[in-house]
Structure 1
Amino acid sequence: MSSTTRPHRTTQLTTTPPPHTTLLRRIQDSSPNPSQLIGFLTLAIVGGILLLLTGFSITAVVLGFIVFAPIIVLTSPFWLPIFVLVFVPLVGFLCLCGFGVAAVAVLSWVYRYSRGLHPPGSDRFDYARNRIVTTAREVKDYAKEYGGYLHSKVKDAAPGA
Protein backbone atom coordinates (compact mmCIF):
# COMPACT_ATOMS: atom_id res chain seq x y z
CA MET A 1 0.00 0.00 0.00
CA SER A 2 1.37 3.22 -1.00
CA SER A 3 0.19 6.29 0.66
CA THR A 4 0.65 9.61 -0.83
CA THR A 5 0.59 12.49 1.44
CA ARG A 6 -0.33 15.92 0.44
CA PRO A 7 1.47 18.83 1.85
CA HIS A 8 -0.60 20.37 4.61
CA ARG A 9 -1.44 24.00 4.14
CA THR A 10 -1.15 25.92 7.29
CA THR A 11 -1.80 29.36 5.93
CA GLN A 12 -4.25 30.49 3.36
CA LEU A 13 -3.50 33.51 1.35
CA THR A 14 -6.47 35.80 1.10
CA THR A 15 -6.35 39.00 -0.74
CA THR A 16 -8.82 41.76 0.00
CA PRO A 17 -9.89 43.90 -2.86
CA PRO A 18 -9.18 47.60 -2.63
CA PRO A 19 -11.84 49.61 -0.73
CA HIS A 20 -13.05 51.51 -3.80
CA THR A 21 -13.81 48.22 -5.56
CA THR A 22 -16.06 46.97 -2.76
CA LEU A 23 -17.90 50.28 -2.61
CA LEU A 24 -18.55 50.18 -6.36
CA ARG A 25 -19.66 46.55 -6.12
CA ARG A 26 -22.06 47.42 -3.28
CA ILE A 27 -23.52 50.28 -5.28
CA GLN A 28 -23.98 48.07 -8.33
CA ASP A 29 -25.58 45.32 -6.25
CA SER A 30 -28.07 47.69 -4.63
CA SER A 31 -28.87 49.75 -7.72
CA PRO A 32 -32.50 49.59 -8.86
CA ASN A 33 -33.52 47.68 -11.93
CA PRO A 34 -35.03 49.60 -14.89
CA SER A 35 -38.67 49.00 -13.88
CA GLN A 36 -37.99 50.33 -10.38
CA LEU A 37 -36.24 53.35 -11.89
CA ILE A 38 -39.23 54.09 -14.17
CA GLY A 39 -41.59 53.71 -11.20
CA PHE A 40 -39.51 56.15 -9.15
CA LEU A 41 -39.41 58.67 -11.98
CA THR A 42 -43.17 58.38 -12.46
CA LEU A 43 -43.71 58.91 -8.75
CA ALA A 44 -41.44 61.96 -8.76
CA ILE A 45 -43.20 63.51 -11.78
CA VAL A 46 -46.71 62.90 -10.44
CA GLY A 47 -45.68 64.16 -6.99
CA GLY A 48 -44.23 67.32 -8.52
CA ILE A 49 -47.39 67.96 -10.54
CA LEU A 50 -49.59 67.46 -7.47
CA LEU A 51 -47.37 69.76 -5.44
CA LEU A 52 -47.66 72.41 -8.16
CA LEU A 53 -51.46 72.07 -8.25
CA THR A 54 -51.59 72.33 -4.44
CA GLY A 55 -49.62 75.57 -4.64
CA PHE A 56 -52.02 76.95 -7.27
CA SER A 57 -55.01 76.01 -5.12
CA ILE A 58 -53.63 77.66 -2.00
CA THR A 59 -52.75 80.78 -3.98
CA ALA A 60 -56.26 80.94 -5.46
CA VAL A 61 -57.87 80.58 -2.01
CA VAL A 62 -55.72 83.32 -0.49
CA LEU A 63 -56.33 85.70 -3.42
CA GLY A 64 -60.06 84.93 -3.33
CA PHE A 65 -60.18 85.67 0.39
CA ILE A 66 -58.33 88.97 -0.16
CA VAL A 67 -60.72 90.00 -2.94
CA PHE A 68 -63.98 88.87 -1.31
CA ALA A 69 -63.21 89.76 2.34
CA PRO A 70 -64.56 93.34 2.02
CA ILE A 71 -67.75 92.08 0.37
CA ILE A 72 -68.26 89.50 3.13
CA VAL A 73 -67.70 92.11 5.84
CA LEU A 74 -70.12 94.61 4.23
CA THR A 75 -72.87 92.03 3.71
CA SER A 76 -72.42 90.18 7.03
CA PRO A 77 -75.65 91.54 8.59
CA PHE A 78 -77.59 89.57 5.96
CA TRP A 79 -75.72 86.27 6.40
CA LEU A 80 -76.92 85.40 9.92
CA PRO A 81 -80.66 85.65 9.16
CA ILE A 82 -80.17 83.74 5.90
CA PHE A 83 -78.22 81.10 7.80
CA VAL A 84 -80.95 80.81 10.43
CA LEU A 85 -83.74 80.70 7.85
CA VAL A 86 -82.05 78.06 5.66
CA PHE A 87 -79.70 75.99 7.80
CA VAL A 88 -81.76 75.44 10.94
CA PRO A 89 -84.88 74.08 9.15
CA LEU A 90 -82.66 72.00 6.87
CA VAL A 91 -80.91 70.40 9.86
CA GLY A 92 -84.26 69.83 11.57
CA PHE A 93 -85.67 68.14 8.47
CA LEU A 94 -82.60 65.91 8.10
CA CYS A 95 -82.78 64.94 11.79
CA LEU A 96 -86.47 64.12 11.41
CA CYS A 97 -85.72 61.93 8.39
CA GLY A 98 -82.90 60.18 10.24
CA PHE A 99 -85.07 59.50 13.28
CA GLY A 100 -87.83 58.23 11.00
CA VAL A 101 -85.48 55.81 9.25
CA ALA A 102 -84.16 54.61 12.63
CA ALA A 103 -87.71 54.08 13.93
CA VAL A 104 -88.68 52.08 10.83
CA ALA A 105 -85.54 49.94 11.19
CA VAL A 106 -86.26 49.25 14.86
CA LEU A 107 -89.91 48.42 14.21
CA SER A 108 -88.90 46.12 11.35
CA TRP A 109 -86.40 44.33 13.60
CA VAL A 110 -88.96 43.94 16.39
CA TYR A 111 -91.56 42.61 13.93
CA ARG A 112 -89.12 40.05 12.51
CA TYR A 113 -88.01 39.05 16.00
CA SER A 114 -91.58 38.60 17.24
CA ARG A 115 -92.38 36.46 14.18
CA GLY A 116 -89.40 34.20 14.98
CA LEU A 117 -87.42 35.06 11.85
CA HIS A 118 -84.17 35.60 13.84
CA PRO A 119 -82.98 39.01 12.58
CA PRO A 120 -79.31 39.95 12.99
CA GLY A 121 -78.41 40.38 16.65
CA SER A 122 -81.29 38.33 18.00
CA ASP A 123 -78.93 35.79 19.55
CA ARG A 124 -77.22 38.55 21.58
CA PHE A 125 -80.62 39.90 22.56
CA ASP A 126 -81.74 36.45 23.76
CA TYR A 127 -78.50 35.99 25.70
CA ALA A 128 -78.91 39.38 27.42
CA ARG A 129 -82.56 38.65 28.24
CA ASN A 130 -81.66 35.28 29.74
CA ARG A 131 -78.88 36.87 31.81
CA ILE A 132 -81.30 39.49 33.16
CA VAL A 133 -83.92 36.85 34.03
CA THR A 134 -81.32 34.62 35.71
CA THR A 135 -79.86 37.51 37.70
CA ALA A 136 -83.32 38.66 38.79
CA ARG A 137 -84.18 35.12 39.93
CA GLU A 138 -80.92 34.86 41.89
CA VAL A 139 -81.50 38.25 43.54
CA LYS A 140 -85.05 37.23 44.48
CA ASP A 141 -83.85 33.96 46.02
CA TYR A 142 -81.08 35.76 47.88
CA ALA A 143 -83.53 38.37 49.14
CA LYS A 144 -85.91 35.67 50.43
CA GLU A 145 -83.08 33.91 52.21
CA TYR A 146 -81.51 37.08 53.60
CA GLY A 147 -84.92 38.61 54.40
CA GLY A 148 -85.87 35.59 56.52
CA TYR A 149 -82.57 35.89 58.33
CA LEU A 150 -83.23 39.55 59.13
CA HIS A 151 -86.81 38.79 60.18
CA SER A 152 -85.57 36.20 62.69
CA LYS A 153 -82.98 38.68 64.05
CA VAL A 154 -85.68 41.28 64.51
CA LYS A 155 -87.79 38.79 66.51
CA ASP A 156 -84.76 37.99 68.67
CA ALA A 157 -84.15 41.68 69.31
CA ALA A 158 -87.82 42.49 69.98
CA PRO A 159 -89.69 39.37 71.15
CA GLY A 160 -93.09 41.06 71.06
CA ALA A 161 -92.73 42.16 67.44
Structure 2
Amino acid sequence: MSSDQQPNVGKTVKGVVGGVVLLFSPVLIIFGPVWAPLFLIYWVYNYLTGKHPIGAGKVDYVRDKIVESVEEVKNKVEQLGKEKVIWYEQRKVPWSTPSLEKWLNVNK
Protein backbone atom coordinates (compact mmCIF):
# COMPACT_ATOMS: atom_id res chain seq x y z
CA MET A 1 0.00 0.00 0.00
CA SER A 2 1.19 3.47 -0.71
CA SER A 3 0.90 6.31 1.77
CA ASP A 4 -2.20 7.58 -0.05
CA GLN A 5 -4.09 4.34 0.56
CA GLN A 6 -3.35 3.86 4.30
CA PRO A 7 -6.35 4.21 6.59
CA ASN A 8 -6.54 7.38 8.66
CA VAL A 9 -6.67 6.08 12.24
CA GLY A 10 -7.13 9.56 13.74
CA LYS A 11 -10.40 10.12 11.91
CA THR A 12 -11.65 6.68 12.93
CA VAL A 13 -10.89 7.25 16.61
CA LYS A 14 -12.49 10.70 16.53
CA GLY A 15 -15.56 9.24 14.87
CA VAL A 16 -15.90 6.43 17.42
CA VAL A 17 -15.41 8.77 20.39
CA GLY A 18 -17.85 11.29 18.93
CA GLY A 19 -20.43 8.58 18.33
CA VAL A 20 -20.13 7.30 21.90
CA VAL A 21 -20.50 10.82 23.27
CA LEU A 22 -23.57 11.45 21.12
CA LEU A 23 -25.03 8.10 22.14
CA PHE A 24 -24.64 8.67 25.89
CA SER A 25 -25.12 12.45 26.09
CA PRO A 26 -28.90 12.24 26.58
CA VAL A 27 -28.34 9.82 29.47
CA LEU A 28 -25.78 12.14 31.05
CA ILE A 29 -28.01 15.18 30.62
CA ILE A 30 -31.10 13.46 32.02
CA PHE A 31 -29.33 11.92 35.01
CA GLY A 32 -26.90 14.80 35.64
CA PRO A 33 -28.94 16.27 38.50
CA VAL A 34 -28.80 12.84 40.18
CA TRP A 35 -25.08 12.18 39.67
CA ALA A 36 -23.81 15.37 41.31
CA PRO A 37 -25.57 14.92 44.69
CA LEU A 38 -24.72 11.22 44.72
CA PHE A 39 -21.06 12.00 44.18
CA LEU A 40 -21.17 14.67 46.88
CA ILE A 41 -22.75 12.25 49.37
CA TYR A 42 -20.18 9.59 48.45
CA TRP A 43 -17.31 12.05 48.90
CA VAL A 44 -18.57 13.31 52.28
CA TYR A 45 -19.12 9.74 53.49
CA ASN A 46 -15.56 8.78 52.56
CA TYR A 47 -14.20 11.94 54.18
CA LEU A 48 -16.08 11.40 57.43
CA THR A 49 -15.12 7.73 57.65
CA GLY A 50 -11.44 8.64 57.32
CA LYS A 51 -10.79 7.29 53.83
CA HIS A 52 -9.56 10.73 52.65
CA PRO A 53 -10.95 11.02 49.13
CA ILE A 54 -9.51 13.28 46.46
CA GLY A 55 -9.26 16.85 47.74
CA ALA A 56 -9.45 15.93 51.42
CA GLY A 57 -6.00 17.38 52.04
CA LYS A 58 -7.09 20.74 50.67
CA VAL A 59 -10.22 20.68 52.83
CA ASP A 60 -8.11 19.95 55.92
CA TYR A 61 -5.67 22.73 55.01
CA VAL A 62 -8.47 25.28 54.55
CA ARG A 63 -10.12 24.17 57.80
CA ASP A 64 -6.83 24.64 59.68
CA LYS A 65 -6.33 28.10 58.15
CA ILE A 66 -9.86 29.12 59.16
CA VAL A 67 -9.26 27.93 62.72
CA GLU A 68 -5.97 29.89 62.86
CA SER A 69 -7.66 33.03 61.53
CA VAL A 70 -10.52 32.78 64.02
CA GLU A 71 -8.07 32.34 66.90
CA GLU A 72 -6.05 35.37 65.75
CA VAL A 73 -9.19 37.51 65.52
CA LYS A 74 -10.33 36.29 68.94
CA ASN A 75 -6.98 37.17 70.51
CA LYS A 76 -6.93 40.58 68.83
CA VAL A 77 -10.47 41.37 69.99
CA GLU A 78 -9.60 40.32 73.55
CA GLN A 79 -6.48 42.49 73.45
CA LEU A 80 -8.37 45.51 72.09
CA GLY A 81 -11.16 44.94 74.59
CA LYS A 82 -8.69 44.98 77.49
CA GLU A 83 -7.07 48.14 76.14
CA LYS A 84 -10.49 49.77 75.80
CA VAL A 85 -11.42 48.82 79.37
CA ILE A 86 -8.14 50.20 80.68
CA TRP A 87 -8.65 53.40 78.67
CA TYR A 88 -12.23 53.74 79.86
CA GLU A 89 -11.28 53.14 83.50
CA GLN A 90 -8.40 55.61 83.42
CA ARG A 91 -10.38 58.17 81.41
CA LYS A 92 -7.35 59.19 79.42
CA VAL A 93 -8.85 61.17 76.60
CA PRO A 94 -6.13 63.19 74.83
CA TRP A 95 -8.64 64.71 72.41
CA SER A 96 -11.14 65.52 75.14
CA THR A 97 -13.77 68.22 74.78
CA PRO A 98 -15.97 69.74 77.49
CA SER A 99 -19.03 67.87 76.22
CA LEU A 100 -17.10 64.57 76.24
CA GLU A 101 -15.88 65.21 79.78
CA LYS A 102 -19.46 65.91 80.82
CA TRP A 103 -20.63 62.69 79.15
CA LEU A 104 -17.87 60.67 80.85
CA ASN A 105 -18.73 62.10 84.27
CA VAL A 106 -22.44 61.49 83.79
CA ASN A 107 -21.90 57.84 82.77
CA LYS A 108 -19.78 56.84 85.78
| TM-score range relative to shorter protein | 0.5 to 0.7
| TM superposition shift of 1:150 | 1.2
CA distance in 1, matches of 2:31, 2:83: 56
| TM superposition shift of 1:154 | 2.2
Q: Which runs of 5+ in 1 are unaligned?
A: 1-37, 43-93
CA distance in 2, matches of 1:104, 1:136: 32
Q: Which runs of 5+ in 2 are unaligned?
A: 5-28, 92-103
- Higher gyration radius (CA): 1
Equivalent residue runs for 1:117-136 within 5 Å: 117-136=51-70
Match of 1:104 in 2: 38
- Kindly provide the amino acid, as one letter, of the partner of residue 51 in structure 2: L
- Partner deviation per Cα, 1:3-35 (whole Å, 9 max, x = no partner): xxxxxxxxxxxxxxxxxxxxxxxxxxxxxxxxx
Match of 1:20 in 2: none
Number of aligned residue pairs: give it.
70
| TM superposition shift of 1:98 | 2.1
Q: Secondary structure in 2 aligned to 1:131?
A: helix
Match of 1:149 in 2: 83
Structure 1 residue ranges, 4+ long, deviating more than 6 angstroms after superposition: none
- Kindly provide the amino acid, as one letter, of the partner of residue 39 in structure 2: A
| TM superposition shift of 1:153 | 1.7
More relative contact order in 1 or in 2 (CA 8 Å, sep 6+)? 2
TM-score by length of 2: 0.56
CA distance in 2, matches of 1:133, 1:113: 19
TM-score by length of 1: 0.38
CA RMSD of aligned residues (A): 2.3
Q: What is the aligned counterpart of 2:48 among 114, 118, 137?
A: 114
Percent identity over the alignment? 27
| TM superposition shift of 1:114 | 0.4
